[in-house]
Amino acid sequence: MYENIIAYQGHEGAYSHLACRHVYPDMEAQACGSFVEAMLKVEQGQARLAMIPLENSTAGRVEEIYRQMPKTRLHIIGEHFEPVNHCLLGVAGTRTEQLQTVGSHPQALAQCDEHIKTLGLRSVAKLDTAGAALEVSQLGDPSHGAIASRLAAELYGLDILEEQFQDVDGNTTRFLILSRTSSMPAFDPSQRFISSMMFQVRNIPAGLYKALGGFATNGVNLVKLESYMAGGTLKESTFHLDVEAHPEQRSMQLALQELEFFARDIRLLGTYPAHPFRTDHALID
């Protein structure tokens, strides 16, 4: 029963829901109240997968996910890039000039900030985009709008007052697909792979420089590096690293060996095929 469930955070019509539909159309997408709940469902065997947003091309990273990953034992088995079409929504018959406030997830509000200011609207932060749309449909107040997807408008009977409401064209969210079990793909030299890992650098001068040096000397391309403070102290940083490589490649093996000299608590989160979006939009040079 649970083998056909993919969990996501938000109400029906959220962008995570859209991502689930696009990647796994035959699976049952199950809404969860929080990222933690969605990930716990997978850990506890109540869902096979979770679709979790990691970063947006306009608003940046989803900080909560970086902090939650070290607390789970989930594996990354894939990535998905979902184009974002933010729509300004209102109750049926509403005119844009009637709006006074607009609600949405803080990330969506940030991605539409200039358009919101141009219309003179007051932003109201909500837990997710689709939930904001649901609230507008329940209130029936023409002065209150929402920023959400076209799917949310259809599900909750709202009018689309403006499409492509985001400030920047090409707005895209990167999702991670999480599983309780590891799924290492066989190495294929004709295919590009991304390996994600986390680690802490030893407290030595130029520790991070030395930790990453093995990737440079072995020709392994780093495509993402994020740092954040973990453990409730300001003494140590945890790093999230994405590289374009597969663990079966000798260059990657040598780089990891060198990493072990200068880092600790190294954890390979997963290796998975690079999404076609990376090639189409030159995310990997």
CATH of the domain at 144: 3.40.190.10
User: Do 273 and 199 belong to one domain?
Assistant: yes
Domain membership flag for residue 186 = no
- For the stretch 149-180, pLDDT in tens is 999 999 999 999 999 999 988 889 999 999 99
pTM attached to this predicted model: 0.87
Q: Report the distance separating Cα 240 and Cα 268, nearest Å.
A: 10
CATH of the domain at 221: 3.30.70.260
The one catalytic residue among 173, 193, 199, 239: 173
Strand 237-244's sheet: what is its strand order?
Answer: 221-229, 237-244, 193-201, 263-273
For residue 39, the model assigns a pLDDT of 96
Q: Report the distance separating Cα 46 and Cα 176, nearest Å.
A: 18
For residue 234, the model assigns a pLDDT of 56
* Total domain count, the chain: 3
Domain membership flag for residue 78 = yes
- Give bridge partners of residue 209 from the DSSP assignment: none
The one catalytic residue among 165, 175, 193, 215: 175
Q: Report the distance separating Cα 205 and Cα 82, nearest Å.
A: 40
Q: Which domain holds residue 113?
A: 87-162
- For the stretch 225-242, pLDDT in tens is 998 776 655 567 789 999
For residue 230, the model assigns a pLDDT of 64
Q: Is 181 a catalytic residue?
A: no
Domain membership flag for residue 185 = no
> What burial class does residue 285 get, using C-beta atoms within 10 Å of its C-beta: 0-12 exposed, 13-18 middle, 19+ buried?
exposed
Residues of the chain with pLDDT under 70: 1, 230-235, 281-285
For residue 168, the model assigns a pLDDT of 87
Q: Is 277 a catalytic residue?
A: no
Is residue 91 within 8 Å of residue 142, measured between CB atoms? yes
User: Do 6 and 67 belong to one domain?
Assistant: yes
